[in-house]
Amino acid sequence: MSDEGSRQLVQRLRDGDANAANDVFDRYVLRLTALVRARVSPRLSSRVDPEDVVQSAYRSFFRRAAADDIVLQRSGDLWRLLAAFTLNKLRSQLEHHTAQKRDPARELHSVDGLDAVLEDLGSVEPTAEQAAIIADELAAVLARLSGRQRAVLEGRLQGKPIEELAVELQCSARTVRRSLEHCRNELEQRLLENPEP
């Protein structure tokens, strides 16, 4: 969708066009849900529902759009704005669920989030179109990685445990985890740089 198309869509929202809300929802809901899933550890996944987080973000976004409080200035602003709403809602949920003497660092670890995304990718058979998109995105991310980072990500995609990769690559498990964290950051950056589906 072009920047002008995004602006027109937001204007239709301001004008109360219900179809515009459906268009915005349908266009970004899967990507926003994946963004949330990538940031929630398996330990918190039973308490934080990605769909609920995204629904809450959309409610806030639609209220702001109806109040004429949304300004798009450049291409990709609609995606970035929705992603910001979603991440803020997620942050609130995580703060709620990690309060009361719990250590958030123990319960939420970004490498766990990447592992959850990799598990999700392996648990559902994608359509041919989805497989092509995933392959393109993965190739773009792999191209931005160093040799070791690429080997770590490929190993995890093959289901190898972190400890096995550390032995295979002659490095520490901590180095493997740092490489996975870097891979997650590269994937996130790619999503932000390419906001249009």
Task: Give dist(CA 192, CA 172) in Å, integer.
Answer: 31
Helix, strand or coil, per DSSP, at residue 162 = helix
What single DSSP character describes residue 68?
T
Task: Give dist(CA 133, CA 92) in Å, integer.
Answer: 31
Q: Does domain 1-104 have CATH number 2.30.40.10?
A: no
Closest by CA position to 136, among listed 172, 56, 190, 96: 190
Do the domains 1-104 and 109-197 sit in the same CATH topology, yes or no? no
pLDDT digits (tens, 9 = 90+) for 7-29: 787 888 888 787 888 888 888 89
Residue 101 CB-density burial (10 A; 0-12 exposed, 13-18 middle, 19+ buried): exposed
- The answer to whether the pTM exceeds 0.85 is no
pLDDT in tens for each of the 197 residues of the chain?
444 477 787 888 888 787 888 888 888 899 998 988 888 777 776 778 889 889 999 999 888 887 777 777 777 788 888 988 898 888 888 777 666 544 444 444 444 455 555 554 444 555 677 667 667 777 777 777 788 888 888 888 788 888 888 898 898 888 888 888 888 777 777 666 655 44
Domain range list for the chain: 1-104, 109-197
The fold of 109-197 is: Arc Repressor Mutant, subunit A (1.10.10)
Task: Give dist(CA 179, CA 68) in Å, integer.
Answer: 43
């934080």: which residue's tokens?
48
Q: What number of other Cβ atoms are within 10 A of residue 42's Cβ? A: 13
Query: Are 195 and 2 in contact, with CB atoms under 8 Å apart?
Result: no
Dihedral of the CA atoms 107, 33, 81, 130 (nearest 10)?
A: 130
Which amino acid makes up residue 126? P
